[in-house]
Amino acid sequence: MAARVEKPIRIALVTGAAQGIGKAIALRLAKDGLHVALNDISPKLDALNALSEEIKAVRAGIKSSVHTADVSKEDDVRRMVEEVVETYGGLDVMVANAGIATDKTLMETTVDEWDRIFAINARGVFLCYQYAGKQMIKQGRGGRMIAASSVLGKNGAGDRLGAYAGTKFAVRGITQAAAGELGKHKITVNAYAPGLIDTEMSRQLDQNAQENLNWKPGDYLKTYSARSALGYNGSPEDIAGLVSYLVSDEAHFVTGQTISINGGVYCD
């Protein structure tokens, strides 16, 4: 009987990993048996270091490292990818999760606010795809790239998040374009489009609604859960489960998709 050949451990890089959805994705990928490189901005270094230690305890033999960078800056993204490759010898999975929200209507949004959110949410995805994609092409062993869109990247009407919606529609287009370019290299490119997820960002939006609209505490969250066919909002672990599938061998035929995961708030 031939000896079983062990597959090499894949390497994943997760941006915006210090909290919320990014943290849940990083932990899930570690449980799935991937080495996980963690990224966020430098003020979140302590949270990244704590998560890195947590990941190392998740599963024997799994490694983790921390790479602070601003994904809106090309030099930062280039350096981040180079550091990951130097640390692990390659890169197999890029999760471009980092993003911010501007809780204003389009009529209230300034040009500076517009430029900042597009720089992080849209340019950041482009740069992560570009530098991870170049590395994966060089390696010649395929790969997986995944980005964060949103339910507001499919239906942008009716919220105080106009600029945010614009960035999340942009992520869908960038994802489709990258999938078309990289498929011949056996690199799949997809995005997840969550509804309201219980994170620090959603709780801040609830706080903003109290301050700006005189809503009661929790009303913002309740408004979204009431729209859901299931009657509740999602958790970061729900998104992590979808990402776990998209990076798996079973998802080799899924590319160019932005997958809704929103409890039925919006149906494609």
| Annotation says 168 is catalytic | yes
Give strand pairing partners of 145.
94, 189
Please give the Cα distance from 231 to 137 (Å, whole number): 43
- Identify whether the C-beta of residue 12 lies closer than 8 Å to the C-beta of residue 36: yes
Instruction: Locate all alpha helices (DSSP H) within the chain, ordered by sequence.
Output: 20-31, 45-56, 74-88, 111-118, 124-139, 162-182, 200-213, 219-227, 236-246
Tell me which DSSP letter residue 215 carries: P
Taking Cα atoms as reference points, which of 112, 170, 126 lies closest to residue 15? Answer: 126
Tokens of 231: 């009657």
Four-CA torsion 172, 241, 255, 10, nearest 10 degrees = 120
Please give the Cα distance from 145 to 194 (Å, whole number): 17
Tell me which DSSP letter residue 121 carries: I
Upper half-sphere CA count for residue 204 (Cβ side, 13 Å): 8
| Annotation says 129 is catalytic | no
Taking Cα atoms as reference points, which of 170, 87, 155, 64 lies closest to residue 124? Answer: 170
Tokens 């979140």 sit on residue: 44
Q: Which of 164, 192, 220, 224 is catalytic?
A: 164
Residues taking part in catalysis: 164, 168
